[in-house]
Amino acid sequence: MKPRLRQGVLPQLIGYRLRVAQQAVFRDFAESVGGLSPGRAGMLLLIEANPGVPQGRLAEAVKLDRSTMVGVVDSLEDRGLIERRRGTDRRTNGLWLTRSGRVLAGRLRRRIERHEGRVAARLSASERAQLIALLEKLGQ
Amino acid sequence: MKPRLRQGVLPQLIGYRLRVAQQAVFRDFAESVGGLSPGRAGMLLLIEANPGVPQGRLAEAVKLDRSTMVGVVDSLEDRGLIERRRGTDRRTNGLWLTRSGRVLAGRLRRRIERHEGRVAARLSASERAQLIALLEKLGQ
DNA sequence: TATTGTTATACTCTATAACTATA
DNA sequence: TATAGTTATAGAGTATAACAATA
């Protein structure tokens, strides 16, 4: 019979609501997609959509330091999902999906679609569109 | 003259938009509030609103493992912001703000208000209300 | 000189399992 | 027995600074 905690101003803050919503969505992602974290899964899909992208450009796109990207790319490469290939500018590594990376990317897209359906089930179609538009105004 | 990266399905996913928006909001928080991370600041405000809350209840409220909460409480205590006091049920630690914790909480509230203003500046008042309502439907 | 990737290092945030003290 | 807090340990995820290869 514990009284609920007083929340103070928190529930009226955009940042707080974002954090709580994201935690809920991430939990569903882990359950219904699994295998890769949302961030890593997103990178795999970005590489799929941009074959040969230099890893520095990918780091820039997802706002990671390029030294951080080294470990991320290492782990995807260790799992046999992508490979580095020396670029024309020989300082760069182009990133390419392997065959099994392509297979996983396809499976991820299907599972993410299902996950998205579960998350969006709490919203009407127009609410979902509205939410995405509003989030787009914040992000960047 | 680098072409922008193709984003594929990502921009249409609620989880992706949440993540990007949250990163942007967090960067602004770090700039305009500073001192404590959004999560730690939120905890300080929760303790302020619930003086004497047992640390396990706080952990439950913010969905952290109670072993994780130990370190969080340690760090806030080391910074002189809160103190543990043995509860009536002598297994529990009630959490209380110190004087300087109360001072910081007040300052945080003012700075967070300013931060919220900056974040919400991109939205109309009704868009902001709408966003919070939509996020509330997702979180939980 | 500037850029790309790498290494060494460290910090934050989180969890699981086993322990202590109290109920 | 069960619960609250703790410890030891580990794993993500991230950054900064210095370095080598290449432009």
pLDDT tens-digit profile of B37-78? 999 999 999 999 999 999 999 999 999 999 999 999 999 999
Q: Is residue B26 part of a domain?
A: no
Q: What are the start-end ranges of the E strands in chain B?
A: 53-54, 82-86, 93-97
**CB-CB neighbors (< 8 A) of A14 in chain B:** 25, 116, 119-120, 128, 131-132, 135
Q: Contact A36/A75 with Cβ under 8 angstroms?
A: no
- Mean pLDDT along residues A52-65: 97
Q: Is residue A79 part of a domain?
A: yes
Question: Which among A45, A64, A61, A62 is positioned nearest to A112, based on CA atoms?
Answer: A45
What is the structure's pLDDT at B3? Answer: 75
Q: Has residue B1 got a pLDDT over 60?
A: no
pLDDT above 90 coverage of chain A, percent: 93
- Mean pLDDT along residues B108-120: 95
Q: Is residue B44 part of a domain?
A: yes
* CA dist., res. B108 & res. B97, Å (int): 14
Distances (CA, A) of B121 to A137, B25, B117: 10, 12, 6
Query: CB burial class (10 A; 0-12, 13-18, 19+) of residue A121?
Result: exposed
* CA dist., res. A76 & res. A104, Å (int): 12
Which amino acid is it at B1? Answer: M
Query: What is the tally of structural domains in chain A?
Result: 1
**What are phi and psi for residue A6, nearest 5 degrees?**
-70, 135
What is the structure's pLDDT at B81? Answer: 97
Q: Is residue B11 part of a domain?
A: no
Q: Has residue B133 got a pLDDT over 90?
A: yes
Instruction: Give chain A's mean pLDDT.
Output: 95
**CB-CB neighbors (< 8 A) of A13 in chain B:** 112, 116
Q: Has residue A103 got a pLDDT over 90?
A: yes
User: The domain containing residue B56 runs over which residues?
Assistant: 36-138
Say which CATH number the domain at A52 has: 1.10.10.10
Q: Is residue B46 part of a domain?
A: yes
Pairing mode, if any, of strands B82-86 and A93-97? unpaired
**What are phi and psi for residue A124, nearest 5 degrees?**
-75, 165
A87 close contact with B: CB closer than 8 A: no
pLDDT per residue as tens digits for the range B4-48: 899 999 999 999 999 999 999 999 999 899 889 999 999 999 999
* CA dist., res. B77 & res. B83, Å (int): 6
- Is residue A91's beta carbon less than 7 angstroms from any atom in nucleic acid strand D? yes
| pTM across the whole model | 0.92
Q: Is residue B25 part of a domain?
A: no
